[in-house]
Amino acid sequence: MRRLRNVKIVATLGPASDTYDTIRALHQAGADVFRLNMSHGSHEEIAEKHAIIRKVEDDTGSAIAILADLQGPKLRVGVFAGDSEMLDEGAKFRLDLDEKEGDSRRVCLPHPEIFQALDVGKTLLVNDGKIRLKVEACGPDFADCVVTAGGVISNRKGVNVPDVELPLAALSDKDKSDLHFVADLGVDWIALSFVQRAADVEEAKAMIKGRAAVLSKIEKPNAVERFDHILQVSDGIMVARGDLGVELPVQNVPPIQKRLVRKCRHAGKPVIVATQMLESMIESPMPTRAEVSDVATAIYEGADAVMLSAESAAGSYPVEAVTTMDRVAAEVERDPTYTQIIEASRGASRASVADGIVAAAREIAETTDIKAICCFTQSGTTAMLVARERPRVPILALTPLVRTARRMALSWGCNCYVTPTMERFKEAVVGAARAARDGGFADAEDQIVVTAGVPFNVTGTTNILRVAPCDERLIYSTDPE
């Protein structure tokens, strides 16, 4: 299914979008990737959604990526005798390990790791930062705090510790169970929550053993500070702005988003911008102008994908939300300013033969009448390198591996096709010409650029580029091989 834009759309599935008809409608409206939130739903329910997506894929002939988003460690307070309490600014409040019900003076915080890491002067945030507590005294089983921003605190509200590196692994026992389940199920991407260091990503990859690609969620200040190392070991990145906006001053989030997106582009790794993109469409058929501008900003920055969360998972207008995002993306990419911004921010290194091949492909395509860049790829690396160039012409990612085609559905501009296994370069050129014609990217009288690696079917061997006609008779008559 050919899209009229290059940026991809990720739609989260949930109670509002768990049937075949709705999931197919979401895909036809523009969803390229479906996110399964492992915080909600049993393994049986996740497996049902996975099966429906694959059925939609078969019925539409599209390569669809499935992203499983692990929950990560959840830090929460305990319960209150009256279910909730009002904390006034300036009041004293204690957090401790005592499991008895809380009151206006104290509550259980059943996470000894937090107390181990706390120091006097540190801040704890409760309920997405609505309540702020400053530590005045602490020990291995308590923290005496003063309320610096008051409000109602209720049972099991979440806790953030923004300026402390917690001695917690990114993978809880639940996450490990979920990870093995979804990897065996056959998802294409696994999103890792609570990443604080590169070692967290390496631990997850060791467990996954190549069954899926790993996407690191950047949602903590530590992850921002160590981003270069995290990016190096990750297959992709999600800029999770919700938690970033809780743990950092909100004004810091836009420049961080811009920096992270640009670094991902230069590394040739896909990046998703997520959280509250069209939040008002949970209840309204129309977004706010500010939300439309927010989506547009992420696209102007060159993000590979933009993501819907509750809008498509639990909202009243899931298909309309995807349709809106699709239309915004198409309109932005038609803007000449978009092309100027994308090309001005192009700055990838040229460290390998493959880098040079894809850069040449883009330059040839943009300076001559070339209709598409067709890249044959085993692992998807070549397609991602072409996507890094952000060419003005369509990218056709051709692969004999279904899992590679699905994985590439997250990458900017990649139109993914599963092809027969090729043994000779002439076969590849003919296959590329057919794909370009069949997909409506070119006519018989047009030309395309074809990149591939020789020998064929070996990962990491991109070393050949050819400008070829889309007429197979001309291919055979001009190439005696």
Catalytic residue status for 275? yes
Query: What residues have CB less than 8 Å from 389, skipping those under 6 apart?
Result: 346, 348, 358, 359, 361, 362
Three-class secondary structure of residue 284 per DSSP: coil
Task: Look at strands 414-418 and 395-399 and give their pairing.
Answer: parallel
Q: Output DSSP code: residue 16.
A: T
Place of tokens 């092809």: 419
* Torsion angle in degrees (nearest 10) through CA of 427, 433, 434, 439: 140
Of the candidates 305, 478, 291, the one whose C-alpha atom is nearest the C-alpha of residue 387 is 305
Q: Output DSSP code: residue 282.
A: G
Of the candidates 365, 416, 406, 405, the one whose C-alpha atom is nearest the C-alpha of residue 389 is 365
C-beta neighbour count of 81 within 10 angstroms: 12
* Structure-token pair, residue 210: 């190549």
Q: How far apart are CA 161 and CA 352, in angstroms?
A: 42
The single residue of 12, 123, 275, 377 carrying the catalytic annotation is 275
Of the candidates 419, 429, 436, 440, the one whose C-alpha atom is nearest the C-alpha of residue 472 is 429
Q: How far apart are CA 344 and CA 336, in angstroms?
A: 12
Catalytic residue status for 76? yes
Is there a contact between 266 and 347 (Cβ–Cβ < 8 Å)? yes
* Structure-token pair, residue 258: 């811009």
The single residue of 217, 362, 390, 406 carrying the catalytic annotation is 217
The single residue of 3, 74, 76, 259 carrying the catalytic annotation is 76
Return the active site residues.
35, 76, 217, 275
